[in-house]
Amino acid sequence: MWKIYFITWAVSVFSKTFFGLISLLPFAALAQIDPVKRDLVQAGYNQPMEGRSPIAAYAYYYHNEPGFLRTNLTMRLALAPVYVDGELGVVRGLGPHTDFSVGLAGGGFADSYNELRSGKFIEGESFEGHSAEISGNIYHLFNPQDLIPLNFVLHGAAHYSFFDNNEDTAKNFQRPSDGATFRIRTGVRYGGIEPTLFPDLAMELAAWYQGEYRTDNGAYGFANDRELKKTSHLFWASAALSYTLPESQQNFFARLIAGTSVDADRMSAYRLGGFLPLVAEYPLSLPGFFFQELSAKKFALLNASYLLPLTKNRQWNLEFNGATAGIDYLSGTAQAGHWVNGVGAGILYRSPLEKFKFIIGYAYGIDAIRSNGRGANSISVLLQWDLEKTYGPDFNSTHPGHWRGIEHLIGR
C-alpha cells in the first residue's frame, strides 16, 4: 500500500513541478532585436538543506527567428507550461538603426509573492499572483560600425495582476487588490551577454531606470500593516566580463551590479539569494541562500566564477563561484548584518559540440540566518540544451527578474 501511495505522491509532485516552473522565467525585453536564430532549453533548480523555503527553479524554451514571414521581421517566443512571452520586432522600422517591437505576455504565478524574513519562509504572508501584459519597445543602435554595440532602449508596458490566496495564506491576511501597473523602462547597454551557461567571451557596461505606476495601491496584510506604493522608481548599473584563456581554456567571469530605489515596496524591491544564473539577466545570486531571501532598497553585489577544465576537450570542468553583497534592507524585512557572503563549487559537463551542458553543485551561504545560527547549505542542478547551436552577441534583457511563487505547486 505504501508503494502505491509513494508512486501517487511522486507523480503529483512531478506534475506540479512541471506546471509550476514558469513563475521564475527570465523573460524580458531585449536591448536590441536579437539577430541570431536560437532554440534553447534551459532549466535550473536549487534545493536548500536546512529550513523550509519556497521552491527555486526555472524551465523554459526560448525561440528566436529572424526573417519571420518577412526579412525585416523577428519573432521571439519564450514558452513554459502555464506562461507565454512573445515579441514581434520590426528591424529598421523607425530608421536605419532604430527597431521597434510589440509584445504580449501572460499566464500563471509570475506575480506571486513569497515572504522571507530573517531566514524564515513566512507562508501565512505569501500569496499567488497571475498576470497579463502588453508592451511596446524602441531599440536604437548608436554605433553600427563598431564591434561592440551601444544600444538605447525605451520600453513601455501595461501589466495587470490578479492576486489570490494559496492554501497556506493566513485567513486574516488581506492580499493586495487586483490592478494594473504601468511600467516605463529605459537605459543604455554597451556590449552584452548571451543567454547561455558560462559564455566563453562577453563584456557589458549598462545603466537602467524603471518606473512603476499602480492604479490600485494601498495597504494590505495584517490590519493594513504594509503598503503597495503608488509609484516606485528603480535605478541600477552593471559591469561584467567573461574571458577564456586561449591555451589553458580556463574561464573567469565577474559581474558587479549596484542598485538603488525610491519608494520601493515588497513587490518592487530588489531580491537577492540563490544560485540560478539564467533566472534573469541580472539574477542577483547569493550561493547558499534561499532564492530571493533578502529584500533590498539599495545594494551592491559582486559575483565571480572560475571554470577549470579537467580534460583537454573541456568536457569535464570544475566550477567555483562566490558572491559578496552590501545591503540596505527594505523596511519590514531587515535582519542583523548588512554584509553577506556565499560560496559554491560544482562539476560541469559539456557534450562534444557543446550542444548540452549540465552542472551539479554545492553552495554554502556563509552569513545566511538559520535556526542553528549562521550558515546554510544547498545543492543546485543546471541544464542547457542548445537545439540550434548558434552564436551571437546581441541577446540582452534589461531588468532584474522578479519571478516568484511556485512553492505551493511542488508538494507544499
Q: Where are the domains of the chain?
A: 2-409
139 pLDDT band, cuts 50/70/90, is very high
* Mean pLDDT, residues 200-211: 96
169 pLDDT band, cuts 50/70/90, is very high
Q: For 3-12, 97-106, 174-183, which range has the lowest pLDDT when averaged over its residues?
A: 3-12
* pLDDT higher than 50, residue 378: yes
Q: Work out whether strand 98-107 and strand 83-90 pair parallel, antiparallel, or are unpaired.
A: antiparallel
The predicted pLDDT at position 353 comes to: 83
* Mean pLDDT, residues 157-184: 96
**First-to-last C-alpha distance (Å) of the chain:** 22
Q: How far apart are CA 184 and CA 155, in angstroms?
A: 6
18 pLDDT band, cuts 50/70/90, is very low
* pLDDT higher than 70, residue 151: yes
* pLDDT higher than 80, residue 321: yes
Phi-psi region of 315 (alpha: psi -120 to 50; beta: other; left: phi over 0): alpha
The radius of gyration computed from the CA coordinates of the chain, to the nearest angstrom, equals: 21
* pLDDT higher than 50, residue 25: no
Lookup: cell for 381: 542542478
Measured at the CA of 238, the angle between CA 236 and CA 244, to 5 degrees, comes to 165
Residue (of 159, 169, 173, 81) closest to 128 by Cα position: 169
CB-based burial label for 287 (10 Å; 0-12, 13-18, 19+): buried
177 pLDDT band, cuts 50/70/90, is very high
Contacts of 355 by beta carbon, 8 Å cutoff, 6+ apart = 385, 386, 387, 389
Most distant CA pair in the chain: distance in Å? 70
The predicted pLDDT at position 81 comes to: 77
The predicted pLDDT at position 331 comes to: 96
* pLDDT higher than 50, residue 12: no
The predicted pLDDT at position 396 comes to: 37
Per CATH, the number for 2-409 is 2.40.160.50
Measured at the CA of 203, the angle between CA 202 and CA 208, to 5 degrees, comes to 130
Higher pLDDT, 243 or 80: 243
122 pLDDT band, cuts 50/70/90, is very high
* pLDDT higher than 50, residue 187: yes
- Name the helix (H) or strand (E) containing 20: helix 2-20
Q: How far apart are CA 208 and CA 237, in angstroms?
A: 6
pTM of the model: 0.87
Helix, strand, coil abundance in the chain, percent, nearest 5:
5, 55, 40
* pLDDT higher than 80, residue 397: no
